Structure 1
Amino acid sequence: MTYVLSDATERLDRDVVWRFLSTEAYWGRWRSRADVEKQIDGAWRVVGAYVESTGEMVGFARAVSDGVGFAYLADVFVDAAHRGAGLGHRIVATMIDDGPGADFRWVLFTGDAHGLYRQHGFADPDSTAMVRPARLG
């Protein structure tokens, strides 16, 4: 199958994003639809992955950034039926290497995809990093 990646916000299928994040994403099911919409609207950049022949959206990532030197990668996913073809790698590469943030310091949080992100230069934090956990309840 052939996939096309795009950073056009208007092309996103927000229903697909909401469905995945509200049912399958272990990292953020606490969010409401309004929260997810607000995060998409406020994103510095988004990347969607689409089946070329049908236009169906099957993958997504968003980033928050200061637009100068720092970015946070979030909500990366590939629909289960489309995994195993390297699409996750393509989404991450498109977001962090093939766009305006290629020279930025990138951060992310993941509980299960360390291997994927290490292949794109992510590493365990050094002594300059600190994290304040969320107060969500």
Structure 2
Amino acid sequence: MEQFFNQYTITDDKTKMDEKTIANLLHQSYWAANRPDETIHQSIVNSTCFGIFDDAGNQVGFARIISDFATMYWLCDVVIDERHRGKGLGKQLVELIVNDERFRKLSGKLATNDAHKLYEAYGFVSDGAKYMQKSK
């Protein structure tokens, strides 16, 4: 799968994922700042991954899905390089994922401390804390 958004490309092609860039982005986050690189590698290997790339081919965004592809998915590690924030990339990435044929008929779950409004726009409902859920 490949989608174009302005000067960016979003893809789920794992061969294009830049693990060093992904690790750097995740190490700047509040949820994965101390996650070891080997754990990041294994999480990429064992998940469906989406990357955002600028027109020069540099990875500037990432998201990961864990799923049984039958009942539910867990959306995690959604991160956009701070130099590329404010351009709608996070919204485009989440919209692409929730509408993806593999996930759109499944229940979705995620955790966030600060992006509830983003996910509410795509059908996720807060439990009042950091967890959110989207029904089929």
TM-score by length of 1: 0.85
Q: Is the 8 A contact 1:69 1:101 kept in 2?
A: no
Post-superposition offset of 1:18: 0.4
- Specify the SS of the correspondent of 1:96: helix
Cα distance in 1, alignment partners of residues 122 and 69 from structure 2 = 20
Aligned residue number for residue 109 of structure 1: 111
Alignment RMSD? 1.6
Tell me, in whole angstroms, the C-alpha distance in 1 between the residues paired with 2:116 and 2:78: 13
1:75-121 deviation line (CA, Å, top 9, x unaligned) = 00111111111100111111221241111100000001111011111
SS at match of 1:73: strand
Separation of aligned partners in 1, 2:59 and 2:67: 24
Q: Are 2:53 and 1:50 equivalent residues in the alignment?
A: yes
Give CA-to-partner distance per residue, 1:20-66, whole Å, 9 cap, x none: 112x11012231000110111010x1110011x21111000001001
Residue in 1 that maps onto 2:8: 3
Match for residue 64 of structure 1?
66
Counterpart of 1:135?
Answer: none
Tell me the distance in 2 between the aligned counterparts of 1:120 and 1:110: 14
- Answering whether residue 24 of structure 2 is matched by residue 19 of structure 1, we say yes
Point out where structure 2 has 5 or more consecutive residues left out of the alignment: 1-5, 132-136
Paired residue for 2:37? 33
Structure whose residues are more often strand by fraction: 2
How many residue pairs are counted as aligned between the two chains? Answer: 124
Percent of aligned pairs with the same amino acid: 31
Q: Letter of the 1:14 partner, please give it.
A: E
Instruction: Give the residue type in structure 2 aligned to 1:121.
Output: G
Moved >3 Å (runs of 4+): none
Match of residue 3 from structure 2: none
Contact 2:25/2:80 (<8 A) preserved: no
